[in-house]
Amino acid sequence: MARGRIRAKLRRSHLYTFGCLRPVTTESQEPHSIQGPGYTRIVYCNQPHMHKHKPLRYCSNYVSTTKYNLITFLRKALYEQFNRVANLYFLVAAILSVFPISPFNKWSMIAPLIFVVGLSMAKEALEDWRRFMQDMKINSRKASVHKGNGVFGNRAWRKLRVGDVVKVEKDQFFPADLLFLSSSYEDGICYVETMNLDGETNLKVKRSLEVTLPLDDDECFKNFTGMIKCEDPNPNLYTFIGNLEYERQVYPLDPTQILLRDSKLRNTSYVYGVVIFTGHDSKVMQNATKSPSKRSKIERKMDYIIYILLTLLVLVSLISSLGFALETKFHMSDWWYLQPQFPDQSYNPSNPAIAGMVHLVTALLLYGYLIPISLYVSIEVVKVLQATFINQDRHMYDDESGIPANARTSNLNEELGQVDTILSDKTGTLTCNQMDFLKCSIAGTSYGVRSSEVEMAAAKQMAVDLEEQGSAISGVSRDKTKVLGSWQSNKRESEIELETVVTSKDEKDQKLPIRGFSFEDSRLLNGNWLNEPNIDVLMLFFRILSVCHTAIPELNEETGIYTYEAESPDEAAFLVAAREFGFEFCKRTQSSVFIHEKYSSSGQPIEREFKILNLLDFTSKRKRMSVIVRDEEGQILLLCKGADSIIFDRLSKSGRMYEEVTSKHLNEYGEAGLRTLALAYKKLDESEYSAWNNEFLKAKTSIGADRDAMLERVSDMMERDLILVGATAVEDKLQKGVPQCIYKLAQAGLKIWVLTGDKMETAINIGFACSLLRQGMKQICITAMNSDSSNQDSKEAVRENIVMQITNASRMIKLEKDPHAAFALIIDGKTLTYALEDDMKHQFLALAVDCASIICCRVSPKQKALVTRLVKEGTGKTTLAIGDGANDVGMIQEADIGVGISGVEGMQAVMASDFSIAQFRFLERLLVVHGHWCYKRIAQMICYFFYKNIAFGLTLFYFEAFTGFSGQSVYNDSYLLLFNVVLTSLPVISLGVFEQDVSSEVCLQFPALYQQGPRNLFFDWYRILGWMGNGVYSSLVIFFLNIAIFHDQAFRAGGQTADMDVVGTTMFTCIIWAVNAQIALTMSHFTWIQHLLVWGSIATWYIFLVLYGLMPPSISGNVHELLVEALASAPLYWIAMFLVVVACNLPYFAHISIQRTLNPLDHHIIQEIKYYRKDVEDERMWTRERSKARQETKIGFTARVDAKIRQLRGKLQKKQSTLDVQHVMPPSS
């Protein structure tokens, strides 16, 4: 509590120049004009009962992301089911089966339809129930709400109402959009983290109205009332217009007083606020879209195949009805057993057209087995089981958080295997929002020997490359070539050998990690910097780190160590670094900061006070921060840190002593993926400072539209003629395994876009850190020039300028002749507003497609969704969006596949996603392993389904033609019912669940295999029609070979000929054997389950024949003891079955044999290597094959390695040519 009191004394607004300054006369400004459409919202503060009735009754704070509710489920789910062509056909068929013209029992059509549709709806209900439970988890969070008489109590988020006064404490999320009234700080300042909304890591400063500052205690709200008139709900995160009527005065409101739902309170003990927008009226939910119904490309293509089969069905039905009409007209009089003298409409010789029409309906039902009714339900079962395997994959389980992967919908499993473009958020997705101080350059000397994650990942890959390609670099001994971590590019001037990398792996040096500090260099640690040259510069460097900031120290009483609550992770990392170097920031008052210096000239620790005279805070436009202080000796100093390009432009002539070498170090740090800042200072005399401060105070207290411009001009005057001290290099900690994952995804042929709300500089730094950018890559920055946004001519000029930039960039790429050249496109949100307009967006997309990396920064949630839609619709290829915050919901829902990161920042992204994972690195396995498997499984499964149904269904047509188009089925009704439901369903499900062309380890070792999905090798029309042709061939063989065998000879020793039931049962046996043998040939990977289901299905057929035949004739009919008495004892039955099955599968066997021999696919080669264990017997060959399979990419850390190897080869060739010249030249006499 003591700490809270100390902090409450600080008036934080005194620290800031630009962000949250409150001029003394601000609240005397005229209130906003709130009238007309779009400004009808009225909120009665602390009087929620006023909003119980219309027109002031607003939506509740309940948030739902489900697709259905109890009222709409039946209607919507039935629509979804009968939106499928096959289901619609079977609905019509089930209705027609009730009438006498049906050739089957009605239940043989109705029962399968109810089963299929019911199971699919149950699956949809289960998945939506899971979404509902996650919604309830959010809606059941507790908020502290004023219940009356100054008493606050907990209430569920969903029960909050407009007008409620809410108390939010530190590190809690805001439950609704609130008007900020007061905080634990005396001057009504609070810090808000909006990473969940816009992806920005820096904290935002919010300020309350001065008139509400006294409302800083629970008791104060006992009699509090007021009225807010403001804009209606809208998706604009950065704007707000409204007025507060309080104590008979009207005060204007702006966005700095609004606390948005799903942002988090940081560095502030508590705040009070009034609920303005609830639930789906809140700005974050206004940016969300309704949960879309997504269908995979394979499923959409499947509809076209169903259309083809329906066309085939109608065609054979028309042929059948025409044949029956002709038979009725010309031969009915000869069919005495039909009693033609008493005809009915179904076979009246005098009216064959009517007979043909009636027979058409019969034929449509009879040949309905061409359409696989069980296809959809089998796919649903397979996808649910596939999703279960994804959920249970231990390799995608995060040990730290205990969160597994979760397939929230199973409809898109196979789509995971066809992704072409990934659109990723940055903060919380690629990074974990933790900064570590890693390296620094002081007085022209680089310090810090520890390698960044990017360097270590690249060096590891470089070591592998050198092992694989060692022979290519002639003259370099492998014994000398050791890559231990990262390379130091320019340390050796003339040696042509690989640079040795220094990494700190010495176990003796291991100590407990310090959050924010990964620096290792004995020259600076433990006070050793006192032995370095330029001690004064080193001391100044450390003091800039410890003084130039806006953080607050907090003492951990248990450890005795200070921690820091800073606006950004960078700032916290600098303070931790300063502490570790011996300059500990330990106290802040309203006008001073105190630094505990561990090492001093006296040898004793000392506490120094620096009086804060002015603070010129960081803004994205300024790209720098300065503080003017007076030290204990009375010297006035300006201490500045900022982007190197900004600082270098402001150096004095005498302050550029270290500029050249520092620039070199900054380039090295950038190559290592680190975020850099330059540090500088200047001394001020009293008169110079006084004159400037007078100007500064005038600008600071001015009122008007040009106030910010005046402040910037005055600040810029002071931040000139600086003296360079050095530079810092901070590692924005990527999530574990991100560089390796991006490398594997690039190897798999995937394109990666980064869409972030963060600043351009931050986005570029992360691009370097995760190897989407690298040194040598040509950056194309498309930016909009500054203009008057209200002027139409200015807008047109900006538009034309952007078009010109895009055109010039496209031309530059086309004219580039270097095959290794790589381009990166970087564009900000303001420019995207124009680039996404209809007349420009396709031009922009064409440029983006030509670039290796695309980074869009400062983008709003809506722009993320629009970019995703542009890529999806413009390229026509499968897109995947991945993010972790509420600002990513739009793009997650817009993409073909949405993946949510189950991070610490809320659950909105997960709730809107199709799949959720705990870390970005698991995306590699989700796509490269599960996506690859699911795509091939579903594709093969669907092709096989059409094959077996065509093979079975066309035999019905052949038999009907053979029997005068009578409408008679050659198979018993029970056979028809069992064919799809029992005898062929389980093997195809086992194919869809367990099939593996290669193991998961091989998928990860050969990521290029993934390209089989985006190229659609296993579900293109060539393969689909091939399987259909195989089905037609099999049906011809099954029917005509059986007819040829049984037609003209006795099939039993007693001389009995075959009747229809014998022929039908034999044909059906052949079909069961042929289709199950076919699926066995299709499978590459067998488990005992597959053996059981494939061969068990055949055994089940024989068991059924025996058991069904033992039933009374009243049930079994003509198949009573057919197998036992007639078929089993007839050799012809077994011979026919063997010949037919061999004949059916011989062409497919020949096809795969020829393909594997003459034109093998990638996985065929790997299968053979694995089968003959060549990977174990000859590891060098296996390594060589892996190297050959690796694609050349323009991104990923291997692109860095390839560039490095090219550089080394160039050096070797240059040295070799020099040696050759020296050898050829005769010695001088």
Question: Cβ neighbours of residue 891 under 8 Å, at least 6 residues apart?
Answer: 423, 425, 755, 861, 864, 865, 867, 868, 881, 883, 898
- The rounded distance, in Å, linking the Cα atoms of 552 and 567 is 10
Task: Measure the CA–CA gap between 455 and 503, rounded to whole angstroms.
Answer: 10
425, 436, 617, 828: which is the annotated catalytic residue?
Answer: 425
Rounded Cα gap, residues 62 and 1039, in angstroms: 63
Matching residue, tokens 């269904």: 953
Cβ(328)–Cβ(343) below 8 Å: no
| Catalytic site includes residue 425 | yes
Helix, strand, coil percent content, the chain, rounded in steps of 5: 50, 15, 35
Sign of the CA dihedral 1041, 1047, 1048, 1054? Answer: positive
Residue 732, helix vs strand vs coil: strand
- Residue 434 phi, psi dihedral angles, 5° rounding: -130, 125
Enumerate the β-bridge partners of residue 563.
Answer: 554
Total residue count of the chain as it appears in this document: 1229
The Cα–Cα gap between 722 and 682 comes to 5
Q: How many CA atoms lie within 13 A of 613 on its CB side?
A: 20
If DSSP codes are grouped into helix, strand and coil, which group holds residue 1219?
Answer: helix
Cα 1080–Cα 1086–Cα 1092 angle in degrees, nearest 5: 75
Query: With contact defined as beta carbons under 8 Å apart, do 1188 and 1006 qualify?
Result: no
Could you tell me if 921 and 738 are in contact, meaning their C-beta atoms sit under 8 angstroms apart?
yes
Q: Alpha helix locations (H) across 1050-1178?
A: 1060-1082, 1088-1110, 1113-1116, 1122, 1131-1158, 1162-1171, 1174-1177
- What gap in Å lies between CA 463 and CA 460, rounded to an integer? 5
What is the DSSP code string of 113-173? HHHHHHHHHHHHHHHHHHHHHHHHHHHT-EEEEEEETTEEEEEEGGG--TT-EEEEETTPB
Structure tokens belonging to residue 130? 């899971």
Q: What is residue 206's three-state secondary structure?
A: strand
CB neighbour list of residue 905: distance below 8 Å, 6 or more residues apart: 195, 196, 264, 428, 884, 885
In sequence order, the β-bridge partners of residue 435 are 732
Token pair, residue 120, equals: 């699919």
Q: Quick one: how far is CA 1151 from the chain centroid?
A: 39
> In the numeric block, which tokens belong to residue 515?
């959050």
* CA distance linking residue 602 with residue 18, whole number of Å: 40
Taking a C-beta distance cutoff of 8 angstroms, is the pair 45, 226 a contact?
yes
Q: How far apart are CA 1054 and CA 685, in angstroms?
A: 126
Tokens of 748: 């798999």
Q: Is 313 left (phi over 0), alpha (psi -120 to 50) or beta?
A: alpha
CB 895 within 8 A of CB 437: no
Residue where the block lists tokens 């009087």: 47
Looking at residue 907, the DSSP 8-state letter turns out to be S
Helix, coil or strand: residue 207: strand
Other CB atoms within 10 Å distance of the CB of residue 825? 23
> Positive or negative, the Cα torsion across 328, 333, 334, 335?
positive
23 preceded by cis ω (within 30°)? Answer: no
Catalytic residues: 425
